[in-house]
Structure 1
Amino acid sequence: MKKHIIINLSIAIVVAVMASCQPRNKDTQAVSTEQKETANNQPIQPADSGYADVNGLKMYYEVYGEGKPIVLLHGSFMNIPLNWSHIIPVFAKNRKIIVAEMQGHGRTKDIPREFSYENMADDVSGLLKHLKIDSADILGYSMGGGVAFQFAVRHPEQLRRLVILSGTYKHDGWWPDVEASFATMNADMFKGSPIEKQYDSLGNDPKNFPAYVKKVLSIDVKPYDWSKEVKNIKAPVFIAIGDADGVQYEHALELFRAKGGGKMGDIHGLPKSRLAIIPGTTHIGMMQHMDWIIPMVNDFLDSDLKPTPPTF
């Protein structure tokens, strides 16, 4: 049974990567004009791109649009095109979008350094300094959610507002079977997948792919718990999970309650932070429901976030 679950998870990841490259089509959900343009192989071009020297890393990044800056942090094994290609045109309409590839991912080559959420958060901090951006909104998906949590804890002066999509702040925030699967996943599960093909196409030695997979998974096979630090984050937080996500409901609710949630807003006013449980949505499916999620994120980022006074 355990092997069956792990194989299914592996297949889901591969399918997700292929699906994440395309927006959902009109037969399943309406997509925006910008998303259709991307689907027609007419993506917008970055206003800036290059490599930032941060913490011994040459970190690849791209910048799109104008307005308040938001940094998008991808999930495990992903990169800019795999995770964000159909999302950038929508977000960039009214914002400056900064996308980067984390250590060992995409065009950011690995270095002999421990792979950790803390290190990657420091890299994002260094990138903002490189771009001369004092503070930004941070949105992280899955692994990127963990990086975003650590960024908020370690670099609060650079954070305006925090958005977490299907991310955890402690290892047992995942459902037990999901957490158990991390230790048994390996490179064979990605054989012939877009993840392996992307790795090979970007100048990496294919012989190093198994070590790359093991290194990426290393951050989730050892216990971590940032509950105290995360609950003390001063910036407003919007946390969203799917109702069929790998993240436990209680995990998200625990943080939301710590940030002022769990009360009737008509009596006590709205908290500055927000929670969304997206219906009919898996962990992978979060990226396929961005046409639902982006309006919620925009509303969160654009609101003044002042508590609403009681109505009675």
Structure 2
Amino acid sequence: MSYADVNGINLYYELQGEGEPLILLHGGLGSGEMFGPVLPAFTAHRQVVLVDLQGHGRTADVDRPFDFRVMAQDVAALIDHLGLDKPDVVGFSMGGGVALHLAIIAPEKLGRVVSASAGIRRDATYPEILEQQGQVTGAAVEFMKETPMYQSYQKIAPRPEDFPRLLDKIGAAMQKDYDLTDEVRGLRVPTLVMGADADMVPPSHFVEIFNLLDGGLRDGGWTGDGRPKGGHALAILPGTTHYNLVDSPLFPIVALAFLDQGA
């Protein structure tokens, strides 16, 4: 369990397991502990770097907004700090968005990327979810006190009293419009687009992302010659939602099957 002073933040990380490096990036209001149920599957043959992103888990917040691109810069700086040679990256939800931004801004530093449950356009999110996201502010802290997210934060955060600030920042970030269509179309890092079959965006949105990566546009052919030229792939996990995909035993199985193709 260590900290790295990188990119203006004291970033918490843990190293577990041995083998080729793999960075795991958690979802919003979570921490590296979010991967607990599936972590043994990842650490069985990999050296896993569990990162607590800005203002989450054991990483204290700093005076800047939540911005996925800046968080990706944090992770890129951590890769340099640890001297990692083209690690693979698996991100879920917020972490999936950070993983995509990392592939956009620092492709030369990465091996392969799995982006799970992360949309690339705000308007792809179901309207009722956008309405709920609009209610996320520090004023909601009283309603959060019985949730695992609040209880975990109180247990491990360096400043437990910052939870309302975390809600304010996440709420503000979710109100910003975004569209990564052009950036994703140019991705050079082999990327697995993963989603739940009942996610907070429709499955068709994950197909849309795959289409941007040259996937799903033609028959793959007997030899696979028709598959996306960049080595990209798509997976929709059956029987899962945005809220339990990361706990599914299918999550590490599918992610590792894709990542190991680059070994």
TM over 0.5, yes or no? yes
Deviation string for 1:118-177 (max 9, x for gaps)?
A: 111011011111101132111110000111111111111111111011112221232222
- Cα separation, 1, equivalents of 2:146 and 2:252: 32
- Cα separation, 2, equivalents of 1:151 and 1:168: 15
- Report the counterpart of residue 147 of structure 2 in structure 1: 193
1:179: Cα distance to partner? 2.1
1:288: Cα distance to partner? 2.5
- Report the counterpart of residue 174 of structure 1 in structure 2: 125
Letter in 1 for 2:144: F
1:203: Cα distance to partner? 5.3
1:207: Cα distance to partner? 4.5
- Report the counterpart of residue 45 of structure 2 in structure 1: 94
Contact 1:73 1:139 in 2 (8 A): yes
Superposed, which structure 2 residues align to 1:219-230 within 5 Å?
A: 219-230=173-184
Determine what percentage of the aligned residue pairs are the same residue: 36
Superposed, which structure 2 residues align to 1:1-312 within 5 Å?
A: 49-81=1-33, 83-185=34-136, 186-202=140-156, 207-262=161-216, 263-266=218-221, 268-271=225-228, 272-289=231-248, 291-304=249-262
- Cα separation, 1, equivalents of 2:252 and 2:146: 32
Contact 2:22 2:48 in 1 (8 A): yes
Contact 2:58 2:158 in 1 (8 A): no
Contact 1:52 1:58 in 2 (8 A): yes
Which 5+ residue runs of structure 1 have no aligned equivalent?
1-48, 306-312
1:88: Cα distance to partner? 1.9
1:274: Cα distance to partner? 1.0
- Cα separation, 1, equivalents of 2:155 and 2:257: 38
1:265: Cα distance to partner? 1.4
Q: Based on CA coordinates, which of the two structures has the bigger radius of gyration?
A: 1
1:180: Cα distance to partner? 2.4
- Cα separation, 2, equivalents of 1:187 and 1:85: 25
Mean CA deviation greater in 293-302 or 278-287? 293-302
Q: Secondary structure at the match of 1:266?
A: coil
- Which fold has the larger relative contact order, with Cα–Cα distance below 8 Å and residues 6 or more apart in sequence? 2
- Cα separation, 2, equivalents of 1:89 and 1:51: 23
Deviation string for 1:204-251 (max 9, x for gaps)?
A: 555532222111222211101111011211111111111111122222
- Cα separation, 2, equivalents of 1:58 and 1:208: 16
Structure 1 vs Structure 2 CA RMSD: 1.8
Taking a change above 3 Å as real, the CA distance of residues 303 and 215 of structure 1, as seen in their structure-2 partners, is same
Deviation string for 1:270-293 (max 9, x for gaps)?
A: 33211111122111120221x123
Contact 1:117 1:219 in 2 (8 A): no
1:201: Cα distance to partner? 2.5
Which 5+ residue runs of structure 2 have no aligned equivalent?
none
- Cα separation, 2, equivalents of 1:203 and 1:233: 35
Letter in 1 for 2:75: V
Letter in 2 for 1:257: N
1:69: Cα distance to partner? 1.1
1:300: Cα distance to partner? 1.0
Deviation string for 1:43-70 (max 9, x for gaps)?
A: xxxxxx2000012211110011222211
Taking a change above 3 Å as real, the CA distance of residues 292 and 235 of structure 1, as seen in their structure-2 partners, is same
Letter in 2 for 1:77: L
- Cα separation, 2, equivalents of 1:53 and 1:180: 37
